[in-house]
Amino acid sequence: MRISTIALANLKRRKGKALFLTAGISIGIGTAVALLSLSNSIREEIGSQLDRFGANIVVVPQSNNLALDYGGVAVSSVSFDVKQLKNQDAVDLHDIPYRDRLSVVSPKLLGAVKVEDTEALLAGVNFDDELKLKRWWQITGRRPVAEDEILVGYEVARVLGLIEPVAMAEMTSHSSHGSHGGGQFKISRERLQIAGRQHRVTGALAATSGPEDRMIFASLAHVQQLLQKSDQLSLIEVSALCKDCPVEDIVHQISDRLPHAKVSAIQQSVRAREHTIERLTRFSAVVSIVVLGIGALMIFTTMMGAVVERTKEIGVLRAIGFRKAHIIRGLMIEVSLISAAGGIIGWGAGMLAGWFALPYFAETEISFEIQPLLAVGAIAAGLVIGIVSSFYPIIRASRLDPSEAVRYV
Amino acid sequence: MKKVSFLKIEKVSKVYQENGAESAVRVLEEVSLEIKEGEFVCLMGPSGSGKSTLLTVVGAMNRPSEGRVVVDGIDVYGLSDEKRADYRREYLGFVFQQHHLMPYLNTAENAMLPLATLKMSAKEKRNQAMMVLERVGLADKALRLPNQLSGGEQGRLAIARAIINHPPLVLADEPTGALDTRTGREVMEVFLDLNAQGQTIFMVTHNPDNAALAHRIINICDGRIVDEMKEG
Ligand SMILES: Nc1ncnc2c1ncn2[C@@H]1O[C@H](COP(=O)(O)OP(=O)(O)O)[C@@H](O)[C@H]1O
Ligand SMILES: [Mg+2]
């Protein structure tokens, strides 16, 4: 017979109430766990999606004397320097320890060329990689396949008169046409003279307001030949899947592998991702706090009721020599057992709920991780909520006047 | 057993404040009395005369408005709240009219309830419980729940719980009040038996036959001691 014996006997006696409280805590903890693990998974998904949407790392030659602007990144154009980027560099880049995190590596060569009467920026790319990187591109027509086939940016196409708007009536039947920037259009002229050679326009990009609006894309090998820069690259755009690793780590690893190149992270994409994740986390936190607050209120009310219900019993214990501290200890044991049980059940339920709910929130196939460490956190959180919210009722119980409690009316 | 040479109640008054200061009820008026070691004292009086109040004041759980309760020169209400709880555990045993047994604990567990807070092996606690249950004749019902005991047995269990700590003074508030004459007698026998072995007892009772068995009868009316009768 110890204080814990009394506490356990009391729990057994008031099973219904104990189960009710356990359920209350598990619902609160479960919601928090589900939200936390969901937002964790979604955070990883967003991370991978954002990483897939565009490059987050750019590799350029160490020094340049002439620069062309490409999306805010200085890009060398004229090849006086010794340290050139070569085709092989795009291959070597895959040797870094974090190679699994590299989602797309897109090497390109840029150069100003004479297109009919004007000048335009010509980019040689591997279309497979480039299109994976520029998911937001909307192509009217089709992507180039043959050597002499090209893809043109919206401004270039407009200025050179390569496209014309589609009439309203025609629009519905050509739903695959570009719909952004300047409305729908179709390719009206396919032949285009670049650097004195005939090319065929197979596709035009809808306006993006990006640098590609003013660019022409052709295959890398073809552009290297056209610009007489065989084997040379102006830059390599890299998209790294970065869930938990800082992009900086990947940047360092690439720098180590390609010492002659300048590697930099595009901060913008990192910032945007951090911002989104921050908002998601904040939302989860607010909802969790509300639910846990309701749970705490429930515990508080139930415990207040329990104290009233047990006035006599507590009074008797006090009368026969239990100190206030002993009463507190007994009730604390009860609350702690209930809270710990609620915490662990809540963890299990939350994990399960998260696992079931994930497909409704995530667009891609992402794995749901069982987090054992979260179980420890859930128990701790359950204990904190249980103890904090029953603190006042318990103190009140300990202050019950024994003479009042045993009074026979 | 702890030895207490005397318990002295000095000019104790008790005023209950109900609903603020508007209606104050004076329940005890300058009550003074002494209880000597080994005595069996009965307190009698009409309902509402302040018997229970006096008993809880003596029981160190109801602070008097005026006066002192002194045990071996120590003012009980001068002790801190926790120390007073210790005092109750070590010096007093309570038997309540409603017995106030814990319905979810069995007979043995109810008997050893006052030991719950003590550092003592489970075996030792069980032994002590069996010893007191033996004394009140309940040893064969150690595993029963209170609702499986008769009224008289419940009364005896309440006495077992009161004496398990070997308190110098046992306080009982109408312990036979809820029992019929025969079972009331059965409980009374236990008290007499204890007293014969030297247990000091201060008991409130309505039953003149029971009171007649005590060494001393104190009559209280409207919070004042009106009459004391000494045996022999
Ligand atoms: N805690 C209390 N608050 C207010 N009045 C009380 C309280 N306890 C007892 N009383 C009143 O004091 C008077 C004496 O009560 P009590 O000591 O229980 O008498 P008895 O035990 O002799 O019947 C009664 O009128 C009762 O209503
Ligand atoms: Mg009474």
> Does a structural domain hold residue A270?
no
Whether residue A68 is found in the same domain as residue A167: yes
Chain A to chain B, count of Cβ pairs less than 8 Å apart? 89
Whether residue A310 is found in the same domain as residue A250: no
Rounded CA gap, A70 and A73, in Å?
Answer: 5
For atom 5 of ligand 1, the residue with the nearest CA is B16
Closest Cα of chain B to A384: distance in Å? 26
> Does a structural domain hold residue A342?
yes
**Residue B232 has what pLDDT?**
47
Tokens of A397: 């119980």
Domain ranges of chain B: 37-64+74-230
Rounded CA gap, A250 and A99, in Å?
Answer: 9
Yes or no: say if A393 and A303 are a contact pair by the CB < 8 Å rule: yes
Whether residue A102 is found in the same domain as residue A164: yes
Rounded CA gap, A314 and A406, in Å?
Answer: 9
Yes or no: say if A369 and A298 are a contact pair by the CB < 8 Å rule: no
Nearest by Cα to A30 from A293, A285, A280, A382? A382
- Residue A40, CA distances (Å) to A272, A377, B35, B56 in order: 17, 15, 73, 61
Q: What is the ipTM of this complex?
A: 0.95
Write down which residue in A219, A237, A265 finishes a domain: A265
Q: For residue B19, report the distance from its CA to the centre of ligand 1, in Å.
A: 15
Q: For residue B65, report the distance from its CA to the centre of ligand 1, in Å.
A: 14
Rounded CA gap, A296 and A289, in Å?
Answer: 10
Yes or no: say if B189 and B155 are a contact pair by the CB < 8 Å rule: no
Rounded CA gap, A220 and A126, in Å?
Answer: 6
Write down which residue in A204, A235, A265 finishes a domain: A265
Which CATH code fits B37-64+74-230? 3.40.50.300
Closest Cα of chain A to B176: distance in Å? 14
Tokens of B136: 């009140």
Kindly determine whether residue B96 and residue A10, on different chains, have CB atoms separated by under 8 Å.
no
Amino acid making up residue B83: K
Write down which residue in A234, A265, A296 finishes a domain: A265
Q: For residue A386, report the distance from its CA to the centre of ligand 1, in Å.
A: 38
> Does a structural domain hold residue A280?
yes
- Residue B133, CA distances (Å) to A31, A70, B127 in order: 51, 95, 10
Q: Model confidence over A309-347: pLDDT tens digits?
A: 999 999 999 999 999 999 999 999 999 999 999 999 999
Whether residue A314 is found in the same domain as residue A378: yes
Whether residue A135 is found in the same domain as residue A261: yes
* b/e burial code for range A219-247 (CB count within 10 A of at least 16 → b): bbebbbebbebeebbbbbbbbbbbeeeeb
Q: Which residue has the tokens 């026969």?
A: A320
Residue A324 has its nearest CB partner, among B56, B81, B98, at: B81
Residues 6+ away with beta carbon under 8 Å from B223:
B13, B14, B26, B27, B28, B29, B31, B49, B50, B53
For atom 21 of ligand 1, the residue with the nearest CA is B52
**SS3 call for A342:** helix
Phi-psi label, residue B137: left if phi above 0, alpha if psi -120 to 50, beta otherwise: left
Closest Cα of chain B to A363: distance in Å? 55
Whether residue A20 is found in the same domain as residue A75: no
**Residue A149 has what pLDDT?**
94
Best residue among B49, B51, B53 to mutate for probing ligand 1, ranked by most atoms within 8 Å of CB: B53
Whether residue A243 is found in the same domain as residue A159: yes
Whether residue A221 is found in the same domain as residue A246: yes
Tokens of A365: 């196939």
The structure's pTM equals 0.72
**Residue A345 has what pLDDT?**
96
Yes or no: say if A11 and A334 are a contact pair by the CB < 8 Å rule: yes
| Best residue in B25, B65, B82, B104 for a mutation probing chain A (most A CBs within 10 Å) | B104
Closest Cα of chain A to B231: distance in Å? 30
For atom 6 of ligand 1, the residue with the nearest CA is B16
Kindly determine whether residue B114 and residue A407, on different chains, have CB atoms separated by under 8 Å.
no
pLDDT < 70 stretches in chain A: 45-55, 63-82, 168-183, 242-245, 267-274, 362-368, 408-409
- Backbone φ and ψ of B170, nearest 5°: -105, 130
Q: Which atom of ligand 1 is nearest to the CA of B47?
A: 23
Residues 6+ away with beta carbon under 8 Å from A125:
A106, A107, A108, A217, A218, A219, A220
**Residue B126, class by beta-carbon neighbours within 10 Å (0-12 exposed, 13-18 middle, 19+ buried)?**
middle
Nearest residue on chain B to A9, alpha-carbon basis: B104
Task: Give A-chain residues touching B81 at CB under 8 angstroms.
Answer: 324
Nearest residue on chain B to A320, alpha-carbon basis: B89
Check pocket membership of A407 for ligand 1, CB cut-off 6 A. Answer: yes
Whether residue A119 is found in the same domain as residue A133: yes
**Residue A249 has what pLDDT?**
84
Whether residue A24 is found in the same domain as residue A46: yes
Q: For residue B177, report the distance from its CA to the centre of ligand 2, in Å.
A: 10
Whether residue A116 is found in the same domain as residue A36: no
**Residue B21 has what pLDDT?**
63
Whether residue A8 is found in the same domain as residue A120: no
User: What is the domain range of residue A38?
Assistant: 3-50+275-408
Q: Which atom of ligand 1 is nearest to the CA of B50?
A: 17
The domain total for chain A is: 2
pLDDT tens for the 232 residues of chain B, in order? 555 567 899 999 999 987 666 778 899 999 999 999 999 999 999 999 999 999 999 999 999 999 999 988 889 999 999 999 999 999 999 999 889 999 999 999 999 999 999 999 999 999 999 999 999 999 999 999 999 999 999 999 999 999 999 999 999 999 998 889 888 998 999 999 999 999 999 999 989 999 999 999 999 999 999 987 776 4
**Residue A12 has what pLDDT?**
92
For residue B97, the ligand closest to its alpha carbon is 2
